[in-house]
Structure 1
């Protein structure tokens, strides 16, 4: 019995688009995307500007045929082929000491990194703290922001986890805008030793203010911060298996094949894959679909450049004429290009990933 051959993603999509939606085929394609099952997010999360910019840049490069290194995130200056925006799963903390010493709020920050697989290499982990939109109140007090690594998990009946090492201390002149913190070294430890990932402790304090009405402004500022504060972790990983090899780069740079002069000869045909038709529009943010295309047609004995045949295909055709047991050359993709996808997983995290060999650009006999 001959060994089974790996199924390419384009073949899987073609099968799905034709209506042959067997469960194992969907499962195989989801595994190719790095998912164990079809995500069912609770609600669509807003896509941050940086991920929109990267996605739109890749879309523009694909539409113009501009070469782009899919293993390098130019906008962030790091190597990587997958971006994740992990949502904070922690909670606000309340204790009788909360308002002492000018404390405004305390929060447990926690990010689930279990989706990052062992072969993925972390290249960026950036904590983003969004304090909310610009305020019209110019007299709002300044803040002091302290970020601690939690020393041990929060115990039962323990209102506040035990803070450990001070990670960052930053003055904030106004309670607005987004702050960024480099968590790469910490995230690497968390992925290698998941039991050490017990989160971060965030405390925001109001700096001393002597002008009239300071007490009221502090209370109003803290109330607004509790409503508007959003924390997320932007993670970039590099999967060596997904990075294009030199051979793939050469294949994508192959010469342009002239259009086949006859409809029956090997050539590219249009095939649009609609994620709505597959029922995946509930978790795929963008694109709504893409032109995957497919190859179909005859590879006659009199092979020529009209069907973009290789020397091997020509020799195979000669051997088939001499010995019918030798199979004929078949119409296959000779040049493919990638697509980018924005989607959400079951934890409502936003993922941006580039996928190789998803669009058939040229066909030939091989």
Structure 2
């Protein structure tokens, strides 16, 4: 969800109104409701006028809370930002993978979606790249939606040399758990 608070902030500045902060109220059937919000991020973009004084320098940690433990699953069908989608893979349907006894299938997942400036950066370089792209779109490409956390998958199959023996193997980095802009 995105909320543009430019109008409110502009009125505080233009009309000398006292800034009492910003409060979000969630309504259900026109009545206030309690809502748990986790991993909220506030992105603030400002425009300073020349000669308005020095700005405080920010550390990378202040600029960006690093992508930590977010599942980044898509919420609703209309989510167009970078997120994880389900991708069910059935080994029997893939040529050359019929030898796998277990699992018959699994959710491999995939990442898809837009990466607007500062949205869910995987690392500090992605944040920097998104800000540079915002300033000059010809100079640098926009970050791409990509896996940021992968997991292994245990595969059980018959031994090629002893057809009555089962073997176990772990395929690394085959399941997408989380997505981020990179």
| Contact 2:71–2:84 (CA under 8 A) maintained in structure 1 | no
Q: For 2:156 and 2:93, locate their aligned partners in 1 and report how far apart those are by CA, in whole Å.
A: 17
* Secondary structure class of the residue paired with 1:276: helix
Q: Would the alpha carbon gap of residues 285 and 265 (structure 1) be closer, same or farther in structure 2, given more than 3 Å must change?
A: same
5 Å matches for 1:1-366? 254-257=68-71, 259=73, 263-280=79-96, 282-301=98-117, 303-304=118-119, 307=120, 309-323=122-136, 324-347=138-161, 348=163, 349-366=165-182
Q: Is the 8 A contact 1:257 1:308 kept in 2?
A: no
Q: CA deviation at 1:293?
A: 0.4
Mapped contact 1:335–1:360 kept (Cα < 8 A)? yes
Q: What value does the CA root-mean-square deviation take over the aligned residues? A: 2.4
1: distance between equivalents of 2:151 and 2:112? 18
State the distance in 2 between where 1:283 and 1:260 align.
33
- Report Cα offsets for 1:131-159 as digits up to 9, x if no partner: xxxxxxxxxxxxxxxxxxxxxxxxxxxxx
Shift of 1:309: 4.2
Q: CA deviation at 1:308?
A: 5.1
Q: Could you say which structure has the greater relative contact order, defined with CA pairs below 8 angstroms and 6 or more residues apart? A: 1
* Structure with the largest fraction of helix: 1
Change (3 A) 1:319 1:273: same
Listed one character per residue, the Cα deviations across residues 76-110 of structure 1 (whole Å, up to 9, x for unaligned) are: xxxxxxxxxxxxxxxxxxxxxxxxxxxxxxxxxxx
Of structures 1 and 2, the larger Rg is shown by 1
Q: Could you list the runs of 5+ residues in structure 1 that have no partner in the other structure?
A: 1-253
Consecutive unaligned residues of structure 2, counting only runs of 5 or more, are: 1-67
Structure 1: which 4+ aligned runs deviate by more than 6 Å?
none
The number of residue pairs the alignment matches comes to: 111
Q: TM-score, normalised by structure 2?
A: 0.53
